[in-house]
Each structure stands twice: as structure tokens, then as C-alpha cells.
Structure 1
Amino acid sequence: MTTFRIDIPQNDLNDLHERLARTRWTPQLPGEGLDRGVPADWLRDVAEYWRTGYDWREREARLNAFPQFVDEIDGLDLHYLHVRSPEPDALPLILTHGWPNSFVEFARTIPLLAQTFHVVVPSVPGFGFSAAPRTTGFGIPDVASRFATLMQRLGYDRYGTQGGDLGAYVAPELARQHPDRVVGVHIDGGFGFPTEDDVPGMTADERAEWDLMQQWMSGGVDHHALLRAAPQTFGAGWHDSPVALLAWHAHKFQEFSMSDQPLLDVIDRDAFLDNVSVYWFTKTAATSSWPMYEGLGDGARFAWPRGQKAVPSGVYGGGSALMRRLAERDNTIAHWPEGNPGSHHFIAMEQPAGHVADIAAFFAKVRDSQRL
């Protein structure tokens, strides 16, 4: 393994600022809010802050406070953060970020987690500073196998897995592949979501809940369909225009909110721009789209994370009685809290303390049960 430090060339930073200054702004279309997409005035304001107010060098230094490394695993360079706890018998914990996010998703939770866990945060292949897949057919099992190799090389024979969004697929896959190593799986949410196959067995109340879910799922931009069809086409714009990339991330981060609050009232503005900046500087807007065209379904439709019963599972935000019933069908649920704070899909960025407390509570249950 090789130590790694983020050091974006000044020419790249200058280029970003110049491109932002030369933006050819689109006019505002009729409509309010997100009716036609990210509002032009909002986008212009945030882009101007990105150019003149946001201090990448200061943010870069913050990220470099975490020990970082690069290790070649199965032909791909894997970037990761590794922060050891002062507690010698701390449980190792590997965190997997989501899409369109990066390792910076956990920047506020790592110092809190490291009080209890040895924390490992890889950049998923194709994201951030990890190398992109070089062939078609790369999927969730390929990520999990590399992460398992990483944990083995770090000397961790037993560990926990955690993730949300894309990470909610990788975390249980690690348990499926290595039930002898993984002590428990904690995800932000995703277990127990019904599919069309579950509808015939639903009660009338559950069917009404299903109908409401369908209304929610049908709203917004279907990025799975978009990126399954033409990631190379759309990636060309995100790769060349920082404002196009900013607008895309802002749109998805706002859609991923479960409240009507404005995005930057929920997610810190600099933290949001940290993530956009990592995508921009690493040129990974297109390479990070592989989960949509390779790994999150059967190639024809979206699929929720698959469960596993080899090790206990827990979630930050459980859900209804219907979801609990379906989750228990495919998982050994040991932790299903109600009322955890938060209104955003990327809960680690919104509620770092609450997120860490819930992760710690789940793994305390798991460790206590395994001592019996």
C-alpha cells in the first residue's frame, strides 16, 4: 500500500474558476421550484460561491487530515481512508458511500466513529481517487471482493460493514461473500421495500401503502434509466462543464431529500461542494455511473438491495410494518429503530452524530449477542 495525499494541481483549480467565469447561462424556463429543474438564479449563486467564496485548499487540507492510502487490488488502484481508534479492541468498520457521492460523505462522521471503531472508507472503483473499471460486467460483487481483500490486507479478520444508497448493496454483499468475517450489516435504509412480486400477498392497507410508494418513486429524474441508456453521452457534458455537473448533483441531492426544505438548509454548502469538487477534479462523473448500467438490477429494471441471513442486519431508518415484514423475510433483523432524526437520503452528511449513535448501538447489540 502507498500513502496518498490529495494535491490538486493549481492549474486544475485555475481552470475550474475560469470555466465557471465563462459559463453560458441558460435562461429560466416557466415554472417554480424544481418544476423544470434546478432554478437558474440558484445555480448562478452557488456557482459564483464555488468560484469566489469556496476555499478548495482549505477543504483539501481538512480531507488530508485523514490518513489515506492507495492499494492495487485485482488490477485496480483502490483509494481509501484508514483511521484507527485509540481503543485497542475496537471493532473494524468498513463504510461504503453512495451515488452521486464519494468518500467525503463520511467526513463529519469519521472522527466520531473512530472513538469506537477502526474506520476504513474506500472510494468505490470509478469514484473519486479510485481507478475506474476497465471492462463491462463490473458489479457489486466485484466491489465487495476488493473490499474484503483490503480488510484482509489491513489485518482485520472480523469487521462490520455499513453503507447507504450504493453502500446498501455493497455492505450485505460483503456478508454474503464472507459470513465468517462480517459480524453485522448496518445500512441507512433499503431493506423491505416491496416490489410488484409482493403485491398479490398484500392486505388492503398494504396495497394502499404500495400505491403511495409508487407515486413517490415515479417522481423526479429516473437516473437509473438515463444512465443505463447513455452514460457516455451525458457524461460528456458533466465532464466538460462544472456548472452542468453542479446542476446535476444539486438536482439529485434535492430529490434525495425527504422534506420540502431547500437543499442547502439540510446539507452544508461547503460539504456539498466538496463532493462536487471531487467529482470534477477526478473526472469521474461518467465513470461513477457504472452501478446504473451494470450492477443494480437485471439489466432491465431497478432492484432493491438483496438481503442475507448469514449475519445480523440493522437499519438507521426502518419503515412501516409492511417493510419490516418483508425485510425479515430475507434478513435477520436485529435493529429497526423508529424516529431517528433526519430528512435526507445521505444521512451521514445531515445528522452525523445521530448516524454514528445508531451505528454504534447496532454493533453493540451484535457484539453483546456474540459474546453469549
Structure 2
Amino acid sequence: MLTSFTTDVPEAAVKDLRERLARTRWPEPETVADWSQGIPLDYVKDVCDYWATDYDWRRFESKINAFDQGITTIDGLDIHFVHAPSPEPNATPLIIIHGWPGSVVEHLDIIQPLRNPVAHGGNAEDAYHVVVPSLPGYGFSGKPTTAGWSVARIASAWAELMKRLGYEHFYVQGGDWGAGIAATMGYAQTEVVAGIHVNLALCSPEELMKLGEPTAEEMGQLGKFQNYLDWESGYSQQQSTRPQTLGYGLTDSPAGQCAWILEKFKAWTDCDGHPENVISRDTMLDNISLYWFTATAASSARLYWESFKGLLTDFTPVTVPAAYSCFPEDLFTMTERWARTRFADLRYYSQPDRGGHFPSLERPETFITEVRNGLRALG
């Protein structure tokens, strides 16, 4: 059963957010002149002041409500999704999967060019019936009340979602957790998945070594793994081991929730030192507000508890046709030959000049081109 959904946060919740922000108990400033200890106090205070006084959540509601949204119950859990069918009769179904700390916000601006390419400088043959679901425990999807909502279970649920929408055969696109889910669907749901496009690939370092001496580029890519472990993995250690403990502070403090996510928009983007160089403040706050109003700090983090260790160690070969757009400043990057150690039928590999972990927000036109080119190669 599919039920229509409209985003409509009560005014009391908006008022409560503003009041909480006004009462924030701030820490002392960092003792360095950069971001090496975390997001600087002055920037967080500036963004939170804007959030409390000038940010317009109703603007975002109008934006997302311009699309058809729905709720359906799969395996006992309510799943929220945006559904944007194409006006082109021969369009191909495409499910686009977000990750953490993202949400459906990541992909709202790319939906129209993908569903109606002729109106956005593209060709009719590149049209897609676009589906963008909210991960379990994220956004307006339900929060699991029992353990077990792993990547594999989500992959199965997304296949069921597409079936309920009338799509028996479809493409999958994903980054971050979405890439892991896409890869899983690329070997576990092969009867319905026509192919996948990912903008993050995770492949075995051991398999790379079997290819011979790593190139200089590959040595740099291997170095990204170590840098992640040394400097970027603190959030994942907390979320994958004690998500419930983390949830108390982030669910109670909007400033805390803001800082926890906002820092990643700087650390993981190709932004020349400041996140607002590539993503607008309003867009970042749209995403942060979605986490805040739905109180999903703990429930979203639990996906790490369920599946994070497997994500970095399970390199099961993907058998369906695959495409990989390797954005240079993503957390992990792979050369084409390294990617082929896992993606057996890799039909498209590209290295855009710029872009990081959130390419649909950072460089939407480039991302749209990559999706079109990648999926075209799978046909």
C-alpha cells in the first residue's frame, strides 16, 4: 500500500528550535587557528544565529512538496520516498540512494534534469523515472525499533519499493551508504537491477596488491585509507559502537546536531577551505533541519552499528553492469584497474576534475552529466 505524504512540520517545532538555539550553552573556542580540532566556534555560532533568525524552513517545505512523496510499509517499517516519474514514455526507472550525513535533500536539485532532460539541455533518451527514498531511521522514514536493519536488508527493501511503484527492472545510483547499498543490490538483487552507478567505490586493498606494484596514484589512494583512520573516522567509531549514547546530546541540542553534520560538509567536500564555497548555507541547513525536526540523530547513526564494519571489509564482487564516477576529493578513490577487482562488469569509469563526497550538492551539473554518461554506458 502506498500513501501520499506532505512535509509539514508544526509551527511549535520551529518555535522550539529557535528557542533552544537562543539558549545554547557554548564551549570555549578552539586553541588553533584552523579546523584541526573540529569546526570552529565562531562559524558554528554564526550559522546557528542565522538558523534561529533568518533561515526559512517553510521555503524548504515548498521545495520538497513540489514533488510527489509517499509512505509505504516494508518489512514492518514505514519508508518515505520522493517519486518523480518522467514525462518521457520510454524513461528508465532509477532509484537514487543517499547516505550519512545526507538525506533526500542531497538530490532534490538533480531530480528535474534527470526526469525531464529535454527541458534541461539533455536528450529524451536520458530520461529517468526517479525515486529517492529516505533510509530507515533517516528523515521521514520510520525508526527501526529492533536490530537488523542492515545494508543487506535495506537493499532488499529498496527492491520491494521499486516493485510497488511498478518498476520491475531498474538502475541504482548511490554514494556513501547509498554506494554500499547499490553494490549489495548489484550482487544480491540481480534479477531486478539492470545496473548501478556509484560515486564512491570500496574495493579490497589486498586485491589491488595482487595486480602488482601499485602506481603512484594508487599509493596516494591507499594513503587516503590511512588518513581516514587517523583523522576522519572518529564519528564512525562513535556511531558504529555507541550510537545511542551519541543520540542524547544531538537530539537535545540543535547546535550540537548542527556542528556534528556541518563539520562534514567542510571536511568531505572539494571546497577550497570553506563549505559555503560549494554548498549554500540554506541547503546545508535544510539537511541539518531535517535531522533535527525528525529527531533522527540516534536512529540514523545505528546504520553504522548495523553495517559499518562490513562496509569496509565485505568486498563481494558486483556482477551487474556498473559505472563509477571517481570524484577526486572523495573520502576514498580507486583507479579503474583497482575498481575492476570488485566491479566485474565495469563499463564506465570517469575522474571529474573537481568534486568531493557530496557531488550532487557541490557540482550538480557535473554530477548529472556523470549519471547520464554512466547509465548510458550500461545500456
Same fold (TM over 0.5): yes
Check whether the contact 2:136–2:149 (CA below 8 A) recurs between aligned residues: no
**RMSD of the TM alignment (CA)?**
2.1
Say if 2:327 is the partner of 1:314: no
Structure 2 counterparts to residues 1-372 of structure 1, below 5 A? 1-115=2-116, 116-192=127-203, 194-195=204-205, 198-199=208-209, 202-203=212-213, 205=215, 208-209=219-220, 212-217=223-228, 218-298=230-310, 303=312, 306=315, 308-317=317-326, 323-331=335-343, 332-338=345-351, 340-367=352-379
1:309 is displaced (CA, Å) by 3.9
CA offset digits 1:91-132 (Å, max 9, x no partner): 000010010111111011111111110000000100000012
Q: TM-score, normalised by structure 1?
A: 0.91
Q: Number of matched residues?
A: 362
User: In structure 1, the residue corresponding to 2:297 is in which secondary structure?
Assistant: coil
Quote how far apart the aligned CAs of 1:308 are: 3.5
Match of 2:44, SS state, is helix
CA contact (8 A) 2:38 2:263 kept: yes
Contact 1:318-1:324 within 8 A present in 2 as well: no
Calculate percent identity across the aligned residue pairs.
Answer: 35
**Residues 327 and 333 of structure 2 are in contact (CA less than 8 Å); yes or no, is this contact kept in structure 1?**
no
Check the 8 A contact 2:201/2:333 in 1, yes or no: no
Which shifted more, 177-186 or 304-313?
Answer: 304-313
Q: 1:17 to 1:356 in 2, by over 3 A?
A: same
Q: State the AA in 2 paired with 1:335.
A: Y
Question: What amino acid does structure 2 have at the position aligned with 1:157?
Answer: E
Q: Is the contact between residue 221 and residue 334 of structure 2 (CA under 8 Å) also seen in structure 1?
A: no
- How far apart are residue 289 of structure 1 and its match? 0.8
- Structure 2 CA distance for aligned equivalents of residues 106 and 322 of structure 1: 24
Residue of structure 2 equivalent to 1:370: none
1:35/1:89 CA distance change after superposition, 3 Å? same
Structure 1: give runs of 5+ residues left out of the alignment: 368-372
Q: Equivalent residue of 1:161, what SS?
A: strand
| Contact persistence 1:112–1:353 (CA under 8 A) | no
TM-score after normalising by structure 2: 0.90
Give per-residue Cα distances to partners, 1:282-302, cap 9 Å, x unaligned. Answer: 01011001221111224xxx6
